């Protein structure tokens, strides 16, 4: 691979090894970007690392490390339940200054019939309040179901990834990662738009039950 091309690739830290971590990692490594997965249970994640190595392109790598260790990457994804974020951010707060923190969470309540965040806020904005001012929070990946992100497309059309944030450079960085992975980034505006993105994802979840699409549909803007 040409050195120039390699220099444009990144290493992304993902906290979690669940559905979103797996699907996002698949897109990242298949787009030539590397991942470090931080987890409470390193051993079972070995199988995930092996499967990622099989789809990695252009020298991308995947590795797993214990949660609690240092975060070296500039982009960190919180692929955990919203209820776990406060504890994780408390542990890592000082490490996250100046970094891009990507929030894919949907703050659903226990009965899946509402959101736990105040109507005049969003998970992303609440997370931004917990972090240093220099942290650039970007809402992304919450409106697409993990299985569709892993596949990259539904019925042959690439998944749209709606991205909200207040820092244009941070959104562009996330957009490039999305594009590298074969998905379509769409700038949805400032971080306050996360309120609508979380509402949209909530609706998309409810539609699975009325339409019986088993978390296999996608939200697509045409054109
Ligand atoms: N699934 C989807 O299609 C989808 C789509 C868009 C957005 N989201 C959102 O993305 C987030 C992750 O969803 P998911 O489906 O990937 O969930 P998941 O499959 O249940 O995975 C959650 C991950 O978070 C880790 N975790 C949970 N509590 C933790 C804690 N207190 N400290 C450290 N790690 C903790 C789990 O680790 P252990 O394995 O050690 O328990 C697991 O690796 C959620 O906020 C969800 O709303 C999901």
Closest by Cα among 11, 45, 19 to 141:
19
Assign 62 to helix, strand or coil: strand
Residue pair 124/168 in contact (Cβ under 8 Å)? The answer is no
pLDDT in tens, 137-152: 999 999 999 999 999 9
| Residue spans of alpha helices (H) in 56-193 | 82-92, 123-130, 146-151, 168-180
- CA-nearest residue, atom 24 of ligand 1: 80
pLDDT in tens, 187-206: 999 999 999 999 999 999 99
Each of the 223 residues of the chain gets a pLDDT tens digit; together they read: 455 455 689 999 999 999 999 999 999 999 999 999 999 999 999 999 999 999 999 999 999 999 999 999 999 999 999 999 999 999 999 999 999 999 999 999 999 999 999 999 999 999 999 999 999 999 999 999 999 999 999 999 999 999 999 999 999 999 999 999 999 999 999 999 999 999 999 999 999 999 999 999 999 999 9
- CA-nearest residue, atom 32 of ligand 1: 84
Tell which atom from ligand 1 comes closest to the C-alpha of 146. 3
CA distances in angstroms from 123 to 69, 81, 137, 212, 220, listed in the order given = 25, 11, 11, 27, 23
Pocket test for ligand 1, best of 14, 18, 45, 123 (most atoms within 8 A of CB): 18
- CA-nearest residue, atom 28 of ligand 1: 84
């Amino acid at each position: 691979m040409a050195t120039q091309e390699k220099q444009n690739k990144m290493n992304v830290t993902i906290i979690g090894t669940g559905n979103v971590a797996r699907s996002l990692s698949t897109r990242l490594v298949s787009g030539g970007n590397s991942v470090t997965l931080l987890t409470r249970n390193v051993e079972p994640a070995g199988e995930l690392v092996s499967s990622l190595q099989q789809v990695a392109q252009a020298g991308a790598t995947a590795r797993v490390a214990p949660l609690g260790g240092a975060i070296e990457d500039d982009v960190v994804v919180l692929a955990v339940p919203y209820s776990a974020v406060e504890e994780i951010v408390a542990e890592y707060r000082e490490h996250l200054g100046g970094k891009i923190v990507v929030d894919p969470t949907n703050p659903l309540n226990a009965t899946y019939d509402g959101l736990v965040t105040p109507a005049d806020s969003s998970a992303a904005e609440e997370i931004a309040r917990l972090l240093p001012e220099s942290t650039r929070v970007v809402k992304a990946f919450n409106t697409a179901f993990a299985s569709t992100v892993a596949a990259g497309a539904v019925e042959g059309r690439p998944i749209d990834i709606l991205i909200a944030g207040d820092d244009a450079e941070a959104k562009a960085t996330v957009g490039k990662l999305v594009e590298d992975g074969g998905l379509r980034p769409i700038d949805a505006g400032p971080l306050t738009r996360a309120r609508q993105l979380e509402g949209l994802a909530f609706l998309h979840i409810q539609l699975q039950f009325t339409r019986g699409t088993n978390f296999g549909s996608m939200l697509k803007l045409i054109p």
